[in-house]
Amino acid sequence: MSMENQPLNTASFELGAYRPPSEAYSLLLRLTRNCPWNRCRFCGMYKGHKFELRSVADIKQDILTVAQIRQEIVELSRKPAYAGDIRKATAEVLGNPPDYVYQNVALWLYKGGQNVFLQDANSLVMRTPDLVEVLKFLKHNLPSINRVTSYCRAKTVALKKAEELKAIHEAGLTRLHIGLESGSDTVLKMIDKGVTAAEEIDGGKKVVASGISLSEYYLLGIGGKALWREHTLETARVLNAIDPDFIRVRTLSINESLLMWSDVENGAFVRTTDEEMMEELKLFIQNLDCHARFVSDHMGNLLQEVEGKLPDDKEKMLAVIARFQALSPEERQVYRIGRRSGYYNGLDDLKDPTRHQVVEGIIRQLSNGSGVVDEHIVYKMREAM
């Protein structure tokens, strides 16, 4: 790495641990620490960590630090070795970043410097005037930004006034990610989500009316064997009422560290298999009557090909599920194990004889030669993704 023997200056700002997959190349800016609710029984992301609001002054200082790092990289790109090519300069920084904050800024610039994700779990819990002030400061000091996104709870936006959400949007917030999980009040109570289906609808509609783009998350399998149908139909009902811009699918994974694990151990919650989840996914899509873009952007999902724009692509998405269900029991197992072990990305990968042989070998090993892998082993594989 040349860098013309000129090391970058040291600077730092605070980063949280999490962001959605769709924000992989976004600048990360931490407005709050951890989760203000932090009681959901299926989630372990922030357990054991205290929620804190960061001060507006500290957040502004982080924005100024980002602007400083950006300017240093711009200045680097003007050196003869880079001839004004900022992508070349950022690529070089990414090859040997001084620290993780430079890496975040360099990656953001390399991808265009346009998107920002506000951390952590619920930025809108801030006082509206404070959030508006931060957003305006952000846009003023980093004018290349055109998309600003955040996680949020449905309960939080339900408690906001419509004019507050409009003010937040006008100040620069363009997209919200809300973990709906389920539209069933029974399921929501079981997982201690702290919100009702009516509040989910109210909050979602307020976001849509404000002009902020809305991504709602559907958690496949959270109803278990007992409530899967109620969970599916009620979630479709809630999303049809909201009509969000995006519906993003996630697959339930429960391990020993989560509060819900005790329900699994005592039999109160019985997990559904991958094949049962595909029946649930089919029923869910069949009952959606909205205009969202349906997105499966997580490695934990069995069939990431199930994506499209509703309602136009509904039959295309259902056809992917039907293709999986039409496989022989043996081939469905091969695909499931291939997917859960990281060898398969989609159904077409079943056609690859080399990978097929590898997955068959994994099945023989996991099944001790019986050819049938115990479902609890598959659960463990799912948890590891």
- Tens digit of pLDDT at every position of the chain (385 positions): 344 444 445 567 899 999 999 999 999 999 999 999 999 999 999 999 999 999 999 999 999 999 999 999 999 999 999 999 999 999 999 998 888 888 999 999 999 999 999 999 999 999 999 999 999 999 999 999 999 999 999 999 999 999 999 999 999 999 999 999 999 999 999 999 999 999 999 999 999 999 999 999 999 999 999 999 999 999 999 999 999 999 999 999 999 999 999 999 999 999 999 999 999 999 999 999 999 999 999 999 999 999 999 999 999 999 999 999 999 999 999 999 999 999 999 999 999 999 999 999 999 999 999 999 999 999 999 988 8
Check residue 298 and give its pLDDT. Answer: 93
Check residue 384 and give its pLDDT. Answer: 84
For residue 350, report the phi and psi dihedrals to the nearest 5 degrees: -60, -20
Check residue 11 and give its pLDDT. Answer: 67
Check residue 12 and give its pLDDT. Answer: 78
Neighbours of 170 (CB within 10 A): 13
Question: Domain 3-327 falls in which CATH fold?
Answer: pyruvate-formate lyase- activating enzyme (3.80.30)
Q: Please check whether residue 213 is in contact with residue 115, taking contact to mean a CB–CB distance below 8 angstroms.
A: no
Helix (H) or strand (E) holding 280: helix 274-286
Residue with tokens 């004018």, as numbered in its chain: 143
Check residue 84 and give its pLDDT. Answer: 92
| Cα angle 182-32-112, degrees, rounded to a multiple of 5 | 90
CATH 3.80.30.20 residue window(s) in the chain: 3-327
Q: Give, as one character, the DSSP assignment of residue 328.
A: -
- pTM over 0.85, yes/no: yes
Check residue 9 and give its pLDDT. Answer: 55
Check residue 4 and give its pLDDT. Answer: 44
- Beta-carbon contacts of 382 under 8 Å, excluding residues fewer than 6 positions away, are 251, 253, 274, 300, 340
